[in-house]
Amino acid sequence: MALAGLPLVLLVGALGRIPGSEGGKEPPAHFLYQVKDECHFLNGTQRVRFLDRYFYDRQEFVRFDSDLGKHVAVTELGEPSADYWNSDEQWMQYQKTEVDRFCRRNYGVYNYEAAKREERLI
């Protein structure tokens, strides 16, 4: 539970690096900041890929790929964030466990076929 507030802290930290907000300036009046988590399943849960993708103004700038085990900058804007997050060992350990904690755990919850199989066994 100690990590429960971690995503909010990281969101606030990431907002501090948005262009236009450095030097005490306010961010633009209208901007879009999104984080999308994706789970890609191949052969059930035999092979699972977790992607944690970060967008600014509809453009992806950095992502965590569980197959690579690190954050990768997609654009120049993402390089400082990727370097910072890759250097934080506790955060990297948290990201690497998302495959089990987020993807595999929710596979049965959101997979209709898996739910049907469980009903037949009972």
pLDDT tens digit sequence for 67-94: 999 999 999 999 999 999 999 999 999 9
> Mind listing the pLDDT tens digit for each residue in 41-53?
888 778 999 999 9
Architecture of the 33-120 domain = Roll (3.10)
The structure tokens listed for 1 are 């539970």
Give the integer Cα–Cα distance in Å for 51 and 64. Answer: 6
Give the integer Cα–Cα distance in Å for 17 and 27. Answer: 10
Q: Where are the domains of the chain?
A: 33-120
Adjacent-strand bridge partners of 120: none
Our CA angle for 21, 25, 31, nearest 5°, is: 45
Backbone angles phi, psi at 51, to 5 degrees: -120, 130
